[in-house]
Chain A
Amino acid sequence: MDKSAKPNVIEVRDLRTQFDDVVVHNDLDLDVHSGEIMGVVGGSGTGKSVLMRAIIGLKRPSNGTVRVFGDEFYEADEKTRLSIERRWGVLFQGGALFSSLTVAQNVMAPIREHLHVEGELAQDMAALKISMVGLPPDAGAKYPSELSGGMKKRAGLARALALDPELVFLDEPTAGLDPIGAAKFDELIINLKESLGLTVFMVTHDLDTLHAACDRVAVLAEKHVIECGPLEEVRRADHPWINEYFSGPRGRAALVAKAS
């Protein structure tokens, strides 16, 4: 693993998570550097989403430490936790928008709750975020049930960005989008990362996303991270799952798409 000068935003050490007797992760280590897009890949059921939930405080590990912004989340007091939570944004797989609120109200919810900003300023801030994720202005007044899958993800991202987080978690951001929509979403994430200086932790299945967006890739298998590094390095690693994943028909197609 390269020792870069950039500080680690996320530091996972010796992580062990389990559901009753089923161990999902064991001795898992992972670093995410500031300002990078980290892609986490792995077969179904290897615990990619569980890892994300362990980092964002939704699944308490049975052993090991999770440090985010240098603080140990699960040991921290209420105040520290709150300040950590303000500095990250999370996009859940289905968007997880509040179904009784419009898109704009969804985006305004964290602004109201954490910044105590109301009225026109909150609306302007919501409008900015909605526009930044590429939604048309009239989407603000729509309810989540009126949106398509891609729009829901964009709206979810707008809500995740509401507080100008330094760190953004994305759970399969391109799953369920058509290839054009998925490519646009990749572009959006790269664009936002560049302009806002975000660090991105992304769980994905999408090989095109890995090629297009991710600075580094972590491969989950056998309950821990078997490879972590730039995509080119990881691809060359000798592991049956990695070989199959990157050299299968889809892996090769993504490579061709990248080259062209």
Chain B
Amino acid sequence: MAESAAHFDIDVDGGVLKLVASGDWRARFLKQIDNRLRDFADDSVGRDLVIDVSGVERLDTAGAMVLQRTFFACTQRTENSRIIGANDAHGALLAQVENHLAPCHVSPVHPNAFMEMLRRLGVGTMDAINAMLELMSFIGQTLFTAWRVLTRPSHFRWTSTVHHMEEAGLNAIPIIGLMSFLIGAVVAFMGAKILRLFNADIFTVELVGIAVLREFGVLLTAILIAGRSGSAFTAQIGSMKIREEIDAMRVLGIDPMEALVLPRVVALVIMLPAIAFIAAVLGVTGGALVAAGAMDISLALFAARFQETIIINHFWAGLIKAPFFAFVIGVIGCFQGMEVEGSSESLGQRTTLSVVQSLFLVIVIDAFFAMFYLEIDF
């Protein structure tokens, strides 16, 4: 098959413009001539035009479309204007596209950049306010559901809860343990280097103990759980929402709060403190091993010093925060999942939001606890 690209010539024949098209007028060859055709049409508005397509070897709808477009852009629709030389197949194609030349919108139109900015600012503000109110209401619903289930324990989903305890809790232990161990080691290294300047190596024990027990152990756990399980909650519930499974549950008389949200939140509230405890133990272990390996603090000395100087309060100060973090991560994960609607893009946005919001709130709550402990001298 000889593939000669689309081509056209312009003649003037007795005052009538004549466009002689030849070659292969299929979509792939059109982009070379499309601009020239448009220029020609712009220059010839209102003139009579005859298009001769007898030289066109192959034609598809796109080719027919540009021919018809050019024809209607120029012509005055007098009897002098017509498309000539089409064989049966090409004639049918040209006739087929003739009625479908209206341009269509490609993306939603926004009239004015400034107004658009104002609009987005307004929408963003209202969205933020609404999201906060809705989150409050969701927290209320979760607590209310928890209360209702407490009074009617048979409604509690044990299987689901245990499943999520394993999924979000047990399976997260290796990675969280490793991270915490490494952080403990790093804190010990950094601290030892500075403290040696003051000949105060032994205070490494206090540094590691207080930092890991009060902050790092539980915070690290919360951050990893937010990234690992909060996002998973959003994705699970969100894809159920897209496929109308949540609606189906409601119609069947199953309360999604009871069946989906509560087990996840309860699972996190139970598991996060447990993992935080493991993280704290491994963090201190990491610090102790570094102290033994890189400094002259033997494991026995570390243990003795640890028992002597680190009061139990430090441990509780860290662990008390864990259920609060867990609650926030679980609730936000489920809340964002419930907010998913329509497209997979919305699912992606909500998952991102879920992680960002729960991390933000975890840090904020941590700061509040720090101030609170400071005030009450805990």
Contact = CB atoms under 8 A, between A and B. Distances in A.
Interface of A: 99-100, 102, 104-105, 108, 111, 115-118, 120-121, 123-132, 137-145, 161, 163-164, 195-197
A82 to B, nearest CB: 13
A105 B106 contact: yes
Given A111-B27, A120-B34, A100 B344 contact: yes
B35 to A, nearest CB: 9
B62 A128 contact: yes
Interface of B: 26-28, 30-31, 34, 38, 60-62, 65-66, 69, 89, 92-93, 95-97, 99-109, 341-345
Q: Which of A123, A144, A195 has the most CB of B within 10 A?
A: A195
A145 B62 contact: no
A196 B59 CA distance: 11
Contacts, number: 107
A18 B69 CA distance: 50
B343 A100 contact: yes
6 contacts: A115-B27, A125-B62, A126-B104, A128-B65, A131-B101, A141-B106
B346 to A, nearest CB: 8
Given A125-B65, A195-B93, A130 B104 contact: yes
B27 A123 contact: no
Contacts of B104: 104, 123, 126-127, 130-131, 137-141
Q: Name the prevailing secondary structure of the B interface residues.
A: helix
A123 B62 CA distance: 11
Contacts of B60: 164
A195 B345 contact: no
B89 A197 contact: yes
Contacts of B38: 120
Nearest to B59: A164
A164 B102 contact: no
B107 A105 contact: yes
Nearest to B95: A195
Contacts of B109: 141
Contact of A99 (B65, B93, B106, B342): B342
A51 B99 CA distance: 36
B99 to A, nearest CB: 8
Contact of B342 (A126, A131, A145, A161): A145
A131 B100 contact: yes
A142 B343 CA distance: 13
Contact of A125 (B27, B92, B96, B341): B27
A131 B34 contact: no
Contact of A108 (B95, B106, B344): B106
A163 B89 contact: no
A7 B345 CA distance: 44
A77 to B, nearest CB: 21
Contacts of B30: 117, 121
Given A121-B34, A196-B93, A128 B61 contact: yes
A23 B225 CA distance: 43
A196 B61 contact: yes
A117 B60 CA distance: 15
B31 A102 contact: no
A132 B345 CA distance: 29
B61 A121 contact: no
Contacts of A117: 27-28, 30-31
A120 B96 CA distance: 21
Given A121-B30, A164-B61, A99 B345 contact: yes
Given A143-B342, A163-B27, 4 more contacts: A99-B344, A100-B344, A128-B65, A141-B108
Contacts of B27: 111, 115, 117, 125, 163-164
Contact of B28 (A108, A115, A123, A142): A115
